[in-house]
Chain A
């Protein structure tokens, strides 16, 4: 009886040590900042026709090194009195080229050097003049094959 108990304890301990020792697969992630393209300050509201600078900062940038990266952005708002949201969206594809200091190999990109050398990516987006005023949601997603996708959202107010 005592032997059986001892074996069980050992088995449990062994399984625990195995599970703790398994390497966790890293994923891309980060944070999104919305800035005025004019002032460079973070904003929570913007006028139609104005330009926004979107900064997506990765926490595991090395995962995107030499990858074909797709960045999607969507700004969506529902006009008061309507049930249908109005949105505009855009897509950027590029091959990430990272400096060795950022965890990448030598630059080999023949695409847009979008992720070059920094820990953040910047997009300049103009809010279309047809967008409704009021509360809007801005979503930016970054995806790379074999690495995964991360989507980040911010709410903001659109004014005339």
Chain B
């Protein structure tokens, strides 16, 4: 099937109820954007033309496959204004990247996508949700603009993207559903409230975290390795390198801690979507609170942070760091010194000098 055939079948009626467009590509293994460059967009794509149930099918494994409820050809005609975009990209040896957006502009020539009014993306166990997205290549790299959330949990089919420009209770997350009322706020730090300031919608993150409960058992099985990253001002995601950059201020809800940073946060993960060994670094005022039961007052603060986490142990380093626990504050004197938090909230400090304020001995009344 070709564009000419499609055009003939359409006649002069540019508005159609169903349109399937096959993007004809060479068989040399090149990606879809290259194919599109070789195959001129014209003549079927005329400014003002509207397609309903629009679909572009790939002819190679690397190409993009997308559908849209409505696609309106812009001027220049390589730009499509799309409503209800569903896009799937497949790269070699990688799980497919899926994107849904309420509204988007798609460039048929370059493959650039600008999603607006809410988007959902997904690859493997990673889900992304945000207001706006800018994606230039097929290399699984994109920039998010505005409110941006990342969730690591068990893979789930994409739900309809919520309209992030308005407050919405609709959540795509596949986390255990908890009501905010069930969350126990530790006093006086109330990190949940701090995260709420970033998330601007308590329901969107309270669902992913059971605040009370035993260490390591606090999550449901599906979200055992769960992590949620929240930024008010977007971020940069490189799924090839398993690297995420969040613009500050940012909040991170981890299985073992909640972290708030005023500055940019960078996260890289070995096996980002599976067994997680996470490296996290940040510049700015940072504070992390441990989730361990009975250690609500355990916090770690710094203005420059390197954090390494495996499923059991988390190590904070940099700054130098300060560790606070039950009225005692221990300050490292050198940048390399670290604190490790083990299951149950047990903390081990590195060798080196630590300045201590407060009393470690609790006198009985």
> Per-residue 0/1 for B203-232: is the Cβ within 8 Å of any A Cβ (1 yes, 0 no)?
000000000000000000000000000000
With both chains docked as a complex, state the minimum distance between the C-beta of A159 and any C-beta of chain B, in angstroms. Answer: 8
A129, B335: Cβ atoms closer than 8 Å:
no
Contact A81 B340 (CB under 8 A): no
Min CB distance B209 to A, Å, is 23
Interface check A86, CB cutoff 8 A: yes
Is residue A160 contacting chain B, with contact meaning CB distance below 8 A?
A: yes
Main secondary structure of the interface of B (DSSP, over half): loop
Query: Which residues from chain B contact A82 at a C-beta distance below 8 Å?
Result: 334, 336, 352
Contact B315 A86 (CB under 8 A): no
For chain A, what secondary structure do more than half of its interface residues adopt (helix, strand, loop), or is it mixed? Answer: loop
Interface bits A126-140 vs B (CB < 8 Å: 1, else 0): 000110110000000
Interface membership of chain A positions 110-139, coded 1 if the CB is closer than 8 angstroms to chain B and 0 otherwise:
000000000000000000011011000000
Which residue in chain B gives the minimum CB-CB distance to A129? B348
CB <8 Å contact, A81 and B351: no
Say whether, besides A48-B313, A160-B308, A160-B315, A129 and B340 are in contact (CB < 8 Å). yes
Indicate whether A129 sits within 8 Å of B342 (C-beta atoms), given known contacts A86-B351, A160-B310. yes
On chain A, the residues within 8 Å of B315 by CB distance are 133, 160
| Chain B contact residue count (CB 8 A cutoff) | 18
Q: Which of the listed residues B313, B336, B348, B352 has the most CB atoms from chain A within 10 Å of its own CB?
A: B336
A75 CB, nearest partner CB in chain B, Å: 13
Q: Which residues of A contact B336 (CB under 8 A)?
A: 79-82
- CB A132 to nearest CB in B, in angstroms, measures 7
Known A86-B351, A129-B340, A132-B350; contact A81-B335, beta-carbon cutoff 8 A = yes
**Once the chains are docked, how many angstroms separate the CA of A84 from the CA of B336?**
10
Chain A residues lying within 8 Å of B277, measured Cβ to Cβ, are 160
Q: How far is the CA of A80 from the CA of B335 in the complex (A)?
A: 10
Whole-angstrom CA separation of A160 from B276 in the bound complex: 12
20 A–B pairs (Cβ distance < 8 Å), ordered by A: A48-B340, A79-B337, A79-B350, A81-B336, A82-B334, A82-B336, A84-B352, A86-B350, A129-B340, A130-B348, A132-B350, A133-B308, A133-B315, A160-B277, A160-B308, A160-B309, A160-B310, A160-B313, A160-B315, A160-B340
Considering the complex of A and B, which 8 residue pairs feature the smallest CB-CB distances, nearest first? A81-B336, A82-B336, A79-B336, A129-B348, A160-B310, A160-B313, A86-B351, A130-B348
Binding site for B on A (CB under 8 A): 48, 79-82, 84, 86, 129-130, 132-133, 160
B residues near A (Cβ < 8 Å) are 277, 308-310, 313, 315, 334-338, 340, 342, 348-352
Q: Add 19 more A-B contacts to A130-B351, A133-B308 (CB < 8 A).
A: A79-B336, A79-B337, A79-B338, A81-B335, A81-B336, A82-B336, A86-B350, A86-B351, A129-B340, A129-B342, A130-B349, A130-B350, A132-B338, A132-B350, A133-B315, A160-B308, A160-B309, A160-B315, A160-B340
